[in-house]
Amino acid sequence: MTSRCSHGSSGGGSSSGRTRVGKYELGRTLGEGNFAKVKFARNSETRENVAIKILDKEKLLRHKMIGQIKREISTMKLIRHPNVIRMYEVMASKTKIYIVMELVTGGELFDKIVQSGRLKEDEARKYFQQLICAVDYCHSRGVFHRDLKPENLLLDAGGVLKVSDFGLSALPQQVREDGLLHTTCGTPNYVAPEVIQDKGYDGAKADLWSCGVILYVLMAGYLPFEDSNLISLYKKIFKANFTCPPWFSTSAKNLIKRILDPNPATRITTAEVIENVWFKKGYKPPQFLEENVNLDDVDAIFSEKVDPQNLIVEQREEGPVAPATMNAFELISTAQGLNLRNLLDKHMGIVKRETRFTSKCSANEIVSKIEQAALPLGFEVIKKNNNFKLKIQGEKTGRKGHLSVATEIFELAPSLNMVEIRKSGGDTLEFQLFYKNLSNGLKDIIWKAELINEETHGASTSA
């Protein structure tokens, strides 16, 4: 597509500054939510690429979120398993918490379903085996996820499944005297009936139900329980009102029906699933070393009495105002599976929670065009920090509040910029419609466009 704009320099090719946190150099934002932002980062000592979740202490205190965040950090520290996102370390400054995590570049398992429609039974079984292995390990450590769904299952560059997002997980101390959990949470389509009823539930059996829904989705390409009316959806879940498509094998159908048993007392257990004939086909449990994990430092991170010498300081290396230059290691992170051919070759399709396009226009021209395209759609454009980070805020209240969109311009080369547009608040479907309308207004400056995934890399961006 030809760009109708001048091809002058976007700002001299200089970076507008880099931020360092301890030994980590922060890069592009991978995801953000109301309480957290996840950034790409690089360890300056080991050159290892990581993801860092950044939390604002004051905001956490104001919204009484300290308990939930401490729980998430404790959970992630306890878990050391090849199919679970790893947390390397936690740091704190006077105002922020930094959680350093494993960076996963293969996208969401959900995207394989979107691209393929459904997976072949053997491939679905492979991912299900990894999922059950990870969940069983978590349960053995007293950790329950409580929000298992394909969007929270990531793939690394080698296609290995990684369970992410422990923002809604529960530790043993949350179990009441009756031995059950009592917090209703999770995503409705994947939630067990006993969780919805809020009468107390076994966290392990509730997680297994979600695993059963995931297996169904992997093999069918659609949900077993779906209805636009929430009450009708709940009725289907309570009765386990679903049917398996004809391409499911008999043994797969039988296993799914035993997992999606609405009565937790008669529902199959995780141990029984592992011994199931269908499950065991080709199953190879991962080999890994157990590690002793100490949680003593978690309370100290949130304490006002923490030794100032243990606090880190964000250091900003300022430069001329220009779009941030995307380094090679960040560029690679945007391509799923480290395949650079994926970066610019795809056509526009269904937009999820983040998309990007490249333009040969200057950064200033891009900003101006975005403002011109967004304002008639009823969106306010707010410039952040410098002219090349924008917040686009919807004026109308949508299904999940006001739609909020974060936009940032990166310089790939002196005459080529990449623009990332991602949903930071509101409803994903409304974001899809917004981006479709916005891109119509930007078609004269778009060189190539590509749909990409929401790369949370193991962190709940809604936390």
CB 177 within 8 Å of CB 98: no
The C-alpha R_g of the chain, in whole angstroms, comes to 23
CB 448 within 8 Å of CB 4: no
Alpha carbons 173 and 142: distance in angstroms, whole number: 9
**Catalytic residue selected from 147, 156, 165, 261:** 147
User: In the prediction, which pLDDT does 33 show?
Assistant: 65
User: In the prediction, which pLDDT does 359 show?
Assistant: 86
Identify which of 235, 242, 218, 258 has the alpha carbon closest to the alpha carbon of residue 128. Answer: 218
User: In the prediction, which pLDDT does 341 show?
Assistant: 30
User: In the prediction, which pLDDT does 338 show?
Assistant: 31
CA 68 distance to own-chain centroid: 17
Q: Is 147 a catalytic residue?
A: yes
Given a cut of 70, the residues of the chain with pLDDT beneath it are 1-17, 33-35, 165-187, 198, 297, 299, 302-310, 317-354, 385-387, 398-400, 448-463
Surface-to-core class of residue 140, CB atoms within 10 Å of its CB (0-12 exposed, 13-18 middle, 19+ buried): exposed
User: In the prediction, which pLDDT does 171 show?
Assistant: 39
User: In the prediction, which pLDDT does 184 show?
Assistant: 41
User: In the prediction, which pLDDT does 423 show?
Assistant: 82
DSSP string covering 88-150, please?
Answer: EEEEE-SSEEEEEEE---S-BHHHHHHHHSS--HHHHHHHHHHHHHHHHHHHHTT-B-S---G
User: In the prediction, which pLDDT does 350 show?
Assistant: 33
Helices 203-220 and 250-259 sit at what angle, rounded to 10 degrees?
150
**Residues pairing with 102 in the sheet:** 50
- Confirm or deny that 53 is annotated as ligand binding: yes
339-386 pLDDT, tens per residue?
A: 333 333 232 233 345 677 888 888 888 988 999 999 989 898 888 766
CB 424 within 8 Å of CB 408: no
